[in-house]
Structure 1
Amino acid sequence: MSTRLTIERLGHLGDGIAPGPVYVPRALPGEIVEGTVEAGRMDAPRILSPASDRVRAPCPHYAACGACALQHASEDFVTDWKRQVIRAALAAQGLETAMRPPAVSPPGARRRATLAGRRTKKGAIVGFHARASDTIVAVPDCRVLHPDLLAIVPLCEKLTRLGASRKGALAFAMTRSEAGVDLEVREARALDLELRAELAALGAGADLARLSWNGEQIAERRPPIQRFGGVAVVPPPGAFLQATAEGEAALVSAVAEAVAGAGRVVDLFAGCGTFALPLAARAEVHAVEGTAALTAALDRGWRHGEGLKPVTVETRDLFRRPLQPDELAGFGAAVIDPPRAGAAAQTQALAISGVPRIAAVSCNPVTFARDAKTLTEAGFRLDWVQLVDQFRWSAHVELAAQFTRAHIDPQ
């Protein structure tokens, strides 16, 4: 039975929401849609009355691929919607603040992504999963990925034929570095001598910087260097990296402004040094991260850097053992960039510490707003928030923000 509905708003995953609620993928507010509703969803809507912000999707794979959710909407609409997501999360905690101009990464800029690979009767297919499905969609003309990543898809197809089971799928974590692509293959069959030799030959033929297989390094032709503040760092395989160079630059700029003037900075959830090493040009930094391989990479980068102030590193699980107020004493500012779950315990310790300034980076507006509430209740002021959109056409929302003690004027 066909049902006609009017879309009222977008949900947090980018779906249109009609009264009921009924979730309608790839629909926009104000549109009239018609289709079959099952279990609260209209998965194949006909758009009877398009919104003025509806545009033709730029990617030929958009209808089948599940990686992007909002290519049917204008860029201004998507940016405004993401800013509203942040505002709504803050409002739910009774907060509001100034919103700075957004930083949106250009198409074809994603330097880090994970593709899936599966064997087929004719060979192999590598790409993104279809929406809410284990079906893999090939994306040779993807508008999101950097061309260097797309260029190694044929290699990934060969690796899939070598390393995937008939039923399982491989995961290809690919990262663009200045030395070439750093490729980590996960969920693959176990190594043996023959497979190891084949993999090394394929990696060399494709001129990969590094190839890893189920966590084990197979070959490294050149160190897959990333630069943070001009400092060369070689991250471990599969290490976190901001999704685009443009997004990283925007976040680093926002963080540097938020902690400006501090002589000593603590960087919490520091990774390989995305913020710690640029900040070390002007301040002493103590970088804390839960994974030893990441802190080791950061430390090696600093030791080979030039013109940097002292950087110390500490491997520590900040969820189980957050830095306490006495350990935070003496720092003029803190940087905190937690995973999606936020950092409730560490934020509580910051709230009652003497740290006067905080630069916060978040990939989840809801947990950011929760932690922001903790800080403001302890006397901090949320001075501003900036949307940093590294995941074009997705529902993913990232931000940077500045907090200062209420009696301190922000610089």
Structure 2
Amino acid sequence: MIVTIERLGHLGHGIARDQDLRPIYVPGTLPGEVVEGTPDGDKLIDAKITTPSTDRVKPPCRHARACGGCQLQHASDAFVAGWKQEVVQNALAGQGLTADFLPLVTSPARSRRRATLSARRTKSGVLIGFHGRASDTIAEIPDCQLLHPGILAAFPGLQALVMAGGSRTTELSLQVTLTRGGPDVMVTGGKPLDASLRLDLARLVETHAFSRLTWDGETVALRDRPALTMGAATVVPPAGAFLQATQEGEAALLSAVRQALGPQKRIVDLFSGVGTFTLPLAETMEIHAVEGDAAMTKALDLAARNTPNLHRISVETRDLFRRPLEPDELRPFTGAVIDPPRAGAEAQTATLAASTIPVLAAVSCNPVTFARDAKALTAKGYRLDWVQVIDQFRWSTHIELVARFSRP
């Protein structure tokens, strides 16, 4: 079968149509490319590109073909930027909305400071990396162009952890975060802890200069504080806490939030996490931070108390899905930041829409739920002033954005 790719789907697959106009999905292709392959259900396998797109480039990483960590290394940066913005535009159009877009910001290569790796013991040693595309096979990534060099430098220590606490029958998940005290490592799927394993793991943490090791939910070693810098503050997040994937991406998100808010007296930070926005913004304004995870609000509160010269920060642990802040509770604030997970914040958005807050900075990692929530806000009188796409997850289909809403 010979097909022409019409567009990319949300997973980055090329989409063509067969003779009956049914969609055919072809991974690793770009719009305009002519592809020949064997039909297999709604997919085209053994695909060969007979006419490549002018946007096709040589993948910068030698692991691109085997590894599933990146979906778009075969596309030019300009194409990826345009495609990601188009995804957001289409999501908004589906809700009858349009917006002005600020210039897109992309994180550089080799900047991912947080990653979840897969690992397994083998006959010859240890295998660590990302899964191959649509596969349970782990692809080794010694020259990964996505991960920060500090994470790659931690691989010998990670391999030693897997050798000590892994097995050949199960796969381990290794969440690694670079901190000022060294890599913070959270392992799930390892052997049950006993006295001998605890001792071995503690020795490995010292040998390889990890800051903290968490093993299936239990902290087994703390060599140094896994501290992060947020504005002028130092935060020690709980193991596994949400953190922006790159420092450059975090800085771009913060810059856009500052621009959206402008000068404010007192704002509310909804889904505040450990203080990504709260702590830097508190250098110029009072903030009430609300987060559903008690361990994260505790870390944020401690960081706020130990940082001089900040405006007042109050912290509240509250499930904003079940119990959103109501319009009367929102009345004291002159601005709001809202940064929900991928599911969006339908309940909290409804109460924001009914509030009198003059300006909102909305952060999202899902264009579809963002557009849904944007529709709810504009239906109640807010204006969508602009959107900025932040390509923090370079070469992936993941999209983040910041938007400004205001009451005319």
Alpha-carbon distance between aligned partners in 2 of 1:279 and 1:291, rounded to the nearest angstrom: 21
Cα shift at 1:117 = 0.4
* Structure 2 equivalent of residue 211 of structure 1: 213
The letter for the 2-side match of 1:7 is I
* Structure 2 equivalent of residue 395 of structure 1: 397
* Structure 2 equivalent of residue 8 of structure 1: 6
* Structure 2 equivalent of residue 176 of structure 1: 178
Flag the 1:71–1:237 CA change in 2: closer, same or farther, 3 A.
same
* Structure 1 equivalent of residue 50 of structure 2: 48
Alpha-carbon distance between aligned partners in 2 of 1:120 and 1:44, rounded to the nearest angstrom: 30
Identity %: 56
Cα shift at 1:289 = 0.5
Residue from 265, 268, 271 that aligns with 1:266: 268
Q: Deviations over 1:267-298 (max 9, x none)?
A: 00000000001111111100000100000000
Residue from 98, 107, 110 that aligns with 2:109: 107
Cα shift at 1:248 = 0.3
The letter for the 2-side match of 1:103 is V
Residue from 99, 121, 124 that aligns with 1:122: 124
Alignment of 1:1-400 (within 5 A): 3-19=1-17, 20-400=22-402
SS at match of 2:40: coil
Cα shift at 1:188 = 1.4
Q: Deviations over 1:367-400 (max 9, x none)?
A: 0000000000000000000010111110001000
Alpha-carbon distance between aligned partners in 2 of 1:168 and 1:139, rounded to the nearest angstrom: 20
Cα shift at 1:44 = 3.0
Cα shift at 1:216 = 1.1
The letter for the 1-side match of 2:66 is A
The letter for the 2-side match of 1:93 is Q
The letter for the 1-side match of 2:194 is D
Alpha-carbon distance between aligned partners in 2 of 1:55 and 1:271, rounded to the nearest angstrom: 38
Cα shift at 1:327 = 1.0
Q: Which moved more, 1:252-261 or 1:126-135?
A: 252-261
Alpha-carbon distance between aligned partners in 1 of 2:67 and 2:298, rounded to the nearest angstrom: 38
SS at match of 2:59: coil
Cα shift at 1:161 = 2.1
The letter for the 2-side match of 1:378 is K
Cα shift at 1:15 = 0.5
Q: Deviations over 1:53-82 (max 9, x none)?
A: 000001010001001000001010001100
Q: Structure 2 stretches of 5 or more lacking a match? A: none
Alpha-carbon distance between aligned partners in 2 of 1:4 and 1:311, rounded to the nearest angstrom: 61
Q: Deviations over 1:177-211 (max 9, x none)?
A: 12211111112121100000000001110011111
SS at match of 2:87: helix
Q: How many residues align?
A: 404
Superposition TM-score, scaled by structure 1 size: 0.97
The letter for the 2-side match of 1:167 is T
SS at match of 1:85: helix
Cα shift at 1:342 = 0.3
Q: Which moved more, 1:215-224 or 1:80-89?
A: 215-224
Cα shift at 1:164 = 2.2
The letter for the 2-side match of 1:248 is E
SS at match of 1:48: strand
Cα shift at 1:165 = 3.2
Alpha-carbon distance between aligned partners in 1 of 2:131 and 2:349, rounded to the nearest angstrom: 36
Cα shift at 1:228 = 1.0
Alpha-carbon distance between aligned partners in 2 of 1:36 and 1:321, rounded to the nearest angstrom: 52
Q: Structure 1 stretches of 5 or more lacking a match? A: none
Cα shift at 1:229 = 1.1
The letter for the 2-side match of 1:266 is V
Q: Deviations over 1:135-191 (max 9, x none)?
A: 111100000000000111122222222222332110000001122111111121211
Alpha-carbon distance between aligned partners in 1 of 2:44 and 2:152, rounded to the nearest angstrom: 33
Cα shift at 1:100 = 0.3
Cα shift at 1:332 = 0.4
The letter for the 1-side match of 2:222 is E
Alpha-carbon distance between aligned partners in 1 of 2:288 and 2:229, rounded to the nearest angstrom: 19
The letter for the 1-side match of 2:318 is R
Alpha-carbon distance between aligned partners in 1 of 2:334 and 2:264, rounded to the nearest angstrom: 5
Q: Deviations over 1:241-267 (max 9, x none)?
A: 101000000111111121222211100
SS at match of 2:351: helix
Q: Deviations over 1:4-62 (max 9, x none)?
A: 11100000011100012010001000000111121211243111000000000010100
SS at match of 2:169: coil
Cα shift at 1:338 = 0.3
Alpha-carbon distance between aligned partners in 2 of 1:309 and 1:14, rounded to the nearest angstrom: 44
The letter for the 2-side match of 1:319 is F
